[in-house]
Structures are given as structure tokens and as C-alpha cells.
């Protein structure tokens, strides 16, 4: 591993532990040349997921793009970055276990809305308004009425019956 400070490739691992619920390993390293300490993460290299867009194009799945969309929906809301990362990890895990390498953008959007609904209802409505391409205030009102009538699900308490 190359030191981010001096560029040397000589380092030692000072600490190693599991991170992100076992999805990766966090390693603390120390450069043997300049003694700078830094952290690296090691995770499984996954088969590349592809997303089928509405217009028929295929696009490689981009975690960063998903992260940015969810963070934008959660802007100025009481949702931590750790919760966003956890939700993204859960979405990716579900997609990889339920589908081979290809998913539709509709399925991906639906999974995101499910996670956002349990994290923050305002963030959910924000995301839904862009994802479903709301055209007027009436569509917002209809979605909010649907939310009020549905029992709130919680990521902390899974459903017993589906």
C-alpha cells in the first residue's frame, strides 16, 4: 500500500478489524519511512451490477451515484451518513442476492424508496418526487395521503408477515 503522505510502499499493519457489519476489513497502517498513520479498507470484489435505464440503455451500477441521490434527498434532515451508508449496503446486498448482474432502474428506485421511507418520510417524498417525476402539487398531496394511511415500517423492527 502506498503511503498517502510520502509515497513509500513500505508499511506495517498496526490494527485490523471487521467493518460495515462484516462487509469489509478496516486496517490501520503506519508508513515505515515517515511514520504517517492511515486507514485502508479491504472488501470483496463483486461481480459488476448493471442497471437497465428507462430509455433501454445499460449503465454500470454506481454506488457513488446512489449515495449522492440519497444524500440529496436527506439534505438538512436528521439522517446520519452512517445510516445512509448502511442503507446503501443493504440495498446492494439485496440486489446481489436476488438478481444476477442486471437490475432495472425501477427496481433500484423502489428499493431506495423503501429504505428512505423507514429512515425519514420527508426524504422519501423528496426522492419519490424526482424518481416518479411528479408534475404538480397534487401528486405530492396524493403521495402524502398514501403515507398517512399506510402503517409506518421501521428498519429497526422487521415485518413479521409479508
Helix axis angle, 63-73 to 81-98, nearest 10°:
130
- CA atoms of 115 and 92, how far apart (whole Å): 12
Give the helix ranges, DSSP H, for the chain: 63-73, 81-98, 105-119, 121-131, 137-149
User: What residue spans define the domains of the chain?
Assistant: 11-43, 50-149
- Model-level pTM greater than 0.75? no
pLDDT tens per residue across all 162 residues of the chain? 899 999 999 999 999 999 877 878 999 999 999 999 999 999 877 668 899 998 999 999 999 999 999 999 999 999 999 999 999 989 988 888 887 788 999 899 889 988 998 898 889 888 877 767 767 777 767 777 777 777 655 555 555 554
Closest alpha carbon to 125 in 113, 112, 107: 113
Amino acid at each position: 500500500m502506498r503511503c498517502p503522505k510520502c509515497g513509500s510502499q513500505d508499511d506495517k499493519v498496526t490494527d485490523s478489524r471487521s467493518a460495515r457489519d462484516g462487509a469489509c476489513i478496516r486496517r490501520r497502517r503506519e508508513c515505515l519511512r515517515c511514520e504517517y498513520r492511515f486507514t485502508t479498507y479491504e472488501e470483496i470484489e463483486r461481480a459488476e451490477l448493471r442497471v437497465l435505464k428507462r430509455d433501454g440503455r445499460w449503465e454500470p451500477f454506481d454506488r457513488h451515484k446512489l449515495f449522492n441521490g440519497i444524500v440529496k434527498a436527506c439534505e438538512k434532515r436528521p439522517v446520519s451518513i452512517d445510516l445512509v451508508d448502511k442503507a446503501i449496503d443493504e440495498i446492494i446486498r439485496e440486489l446481489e442476492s436476488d438478481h444476477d448482474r442486471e437490475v432495472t432502474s425501477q427496481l433500484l428506485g423502489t428499493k431506495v424508496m423503501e429504505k428512505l421511507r423507514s429512515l425519514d418520510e420527508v426524504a422519501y417524498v423528496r426522492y419519490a418526487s424526482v424518481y416518479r417525476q411528479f408534475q404538480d402539487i397534487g401528486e405530492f398531496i396524493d403521495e402524502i395521503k398514501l403515507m398517512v394511511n399506510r402503517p409506518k415500517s421501521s428498519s429497526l423492527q422487521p415485518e413479521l408477515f409479508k
